[in-house]
Structures are given as C-alpha cells and as structure tokens.
Amino acid sequence: MTERTLVKNLAASPDGPVAVSGWVDTVRDQKKVQFVVLRDESGAVQLVNPRTDETEEVAEIISGLSQGSFITVTGELKHDERVKLGGIEVKLATLVVETAAIPETPIAADSGIDKRMDWRFLDLRRPEQNLVFRVQTTLEHAWRTYWVEHDFIEIHTPKLMASASESRAELFEVDYFEGKAYLAQSPQFFKQMAQPAGFGKVFEVGPAFRADPSFTSRHATEFTSVDAEISWIDSHEDVMQLHEELMVAGLRAVKEKHGEEILALFGVELEVPTQPFPRIPLAEAKRIVAERGYVVPREDDDMDPEGERQIAAYVKETYGHDFVFLTDYAASIRPFYHMRHADDVTLTNSYDLIYNGVEISTGAQREHRVEVLIEQAKEKGLDPEELDFYLDFFRYGVPPHGGFGMGLSRVLMLMLHQTNLREVVYLFRGPTRLLP
C-alpha cells in the first residue's frame, strides 16, 4: 500500500502514485467529471475523477459523499499550474470512505459564535482555526526554548489549594474528602516557594481558574497561565526586561514559521517588536489619555479597557510599538505581596503589559521581608495566620525576587487580531459553558 502523504508535502513530491487521507470539504459532481476538495491537518488538495465506464464505481461513491466524511484515496499526483488550488491535483484510482458524516451539517460559515462553540470539533476544521493552534504550539515552544537556554527550571504546581492566593471572591470551592479545597487562581505562592528553595529562575505553563462571572470577549473561568519567577532582582525593571525578551523570542518564531499563512488567513502582518518596550507610569498614562479626550472614570486608581486602548493608540502613534508597560500601580489595587516603592509606599514596583490595546499580564517585584508582608496582608484585611504556610517561605531566607503571570489565550487573540477569546481557545469555559 502506498504510504500516506500529507497535503502540504504534495507540492514537493514528483508526479506519480500517491495516497492521501482527510475529510471531504466540497464536492462538484458534474456529468463528465467530478471534483472533490480533500482537506487534512496540513492543507487542501483537489481530487479529480473523469467519468468513464472504468471509473463508475468511484463515481458512485463520490456522488454519495457528504461534507465532512473522512476518506482515503490513491491516485496519480499531477502538477498543473491551471489548477487554482495549489497547482496540483490527484487523479483518482481508489476511494475508501473511512467514516461517513451525517449530511445535515449543524453549523455554517455564518453561524454565530455560541452555535459554533456547541459544535467546536467541526468549527476547528476551518483552516484559520488549525493555524491558531499551530501558532500556539510554535509560540509555546519558542518560550520554552528561551527559558531552557537561560537556565530556567520548569515546575508544575498543584491546582488544588487549601487557601486563596489572590482574591477570595474569585475562588472555585470544591469538596475535598471531609473538607474544602479551592481551584488555584494562579501558581503565585508556589512559584514564589521556589525562590527560598534556591531554584533561582522558574516557569510554568498550566491551567488556572477564576470564579469571575464576566461575559466579556476576553475573560474565561479556566485559562492557561504563563508564569515566570526569578531571584536576585533589583526592581521590577528586571522582570520587564525578561518579559520583553520572551515576547520578542515568541513573536519572532511565529513570524518566521507562520507569517505568510497569518497574512493570508487573518490579514495580519505580524510585527516583531523592538526593544526596549515603552514604559509609562500609570499616572502619566492617565494624563496622556485625558489629553486625548478620554478621562478614565474608575475611582480605584486602575486603567479601564478604553483607557488601555487609548494609551496603546498613543504608543503606536508615538513609538510605532504594539506593546507598552504601564508601571507604578497604586498599592490599594495591588496584592499584598507586591513590593512598595522605597520612597512612596502608596505605589508598587509593578506593571501591566498592554498588547494591541489590551492588558495581557501583570508583573511585579515581590516583597521578601516577612515583617513587611505581614503588615501589608493586614492592610488588605487578610488574616496572617491563614497565610502561615506562605509566610513560612520568608522566615527561612529568601532572595529579592519577582515575576509575572500572563494569559496565553489573550496573547494569541491579540496577535491574530481576533475580537473574542473563544476563537483561540481549544475548548472555552465560561460562566454558562461547561460543554463540550
């Protein structure tokens, strides 16, 4: 039997016998000739069957094919510039239906996103969806390569926790034998634990959970968190430098491998950002946004989504850059473990990273002095006794350290200029979606 060839490899293959397998994308059943577009995980190719007495058996099978059926075919590969689909086609010899699809397709090209999510496995057959996850694979591989080459240690932290690491309001509580446990909102405490353990530099790519009843286009209740933590830093500037180097490495790898496909399928000319990324203190960013005619209405010293879009537009116009670090957030809106400014305790050594107008990450220098941590926890209304397991990390020696957490799906969404997170998540989880 002829070995299966991926469609993407056909163009470089010589004319002659070939076997391909995939699903039926379209069928044109004409009187004298039949055309089938077969698509596999790598691309699409045209199959042709001239109708003669000798090919009537194959012709009958083609006439009964439904869209989405998986087939295996053998035939003669021919390079022909007149063929619009890739300049190649396969003249059929045999056709085997591996599994037939139900003729009535539950979704169409114009189906709404909720309907498409109900039938996600069919929605994922679209070429642009296939590309999303190949881009994701390349991006994560580039990040891991960066980390490994810079002597980071990969860790896998537990997702069942005895207490909160961030806000109790966003915790999922689950039964745990005779007691209760919580799904981890982030690996924050555990990646910090690696610092007194002497690991130095660590990273993790893993699931995180937020019981946030948001129905926005950029929130999910389960998401993939990209985290890093490093020892021996002088300030959050060291974390920002790490962060931008990582983003440049990832975007460069994606552009080199998928840039042409991204342009063809998404109409996006991917840009590899220059270093350093612009850095703007939050107070200054708000002033800039106000001068552009938009006053951030929030009273909690944070930037709202429109403010993020406005400052990103300013940075693009002024610096030609898709990224900007907003720095020096108020202590009132940051977690208790963020280090305060040495000369202004109302501000923190922290930042948000904005990409194409949307926040994708929060990073900071952590407070490593246990007595200061205890006082800052009390300020936030937390009981230090409930944090004892965490505070113990700092009672036995810990170096100055910092890190960040970043949403993988948001990065992909913004990289590909998509308007909804659901388009770049394999299976989305939100307040009203637990299936499929």
Task: Return binding residues for L-aspartate.
Answer: 166, 210, 362, 366
Token reading at 365: 């220098």
**271, 287, 368, 270: which is closest to 326 by C-alpha?**
287
Residue 273, strand partner residues: none
**270, 271, 274, 229: which is closest to 406 by C-alpha?**
229
DSSP state at residue 303: P
Tell me whether strands 153-154 and 88-99 are parallel, antiparallel or unpaired: unpaired
Q: Annotated binding residues for ATP, as ranges?
A: 359, 407-410
Q: What angle do CA 317, 311, 351 make, to 5 degrees?
A: 125
429 burial (CB, 10 Å; 0-12 / 13-18 / 19+) is middle
Q: Is 177 left (phi over 0), alpha (psi -120 to 50) or beta?
A: left
Q: Annotated binding residues, as ranges?
A: 166, 210, 359, 362, 366, 407-410
Exposure string for 346-376, b = 16+ CB within 10 A, e = fewer: ebbbbbbbbbbbbbbbbbbbbbbebebbbeb
Torsion of CA 19, 92, 103, 28, to 10 degrees: 130
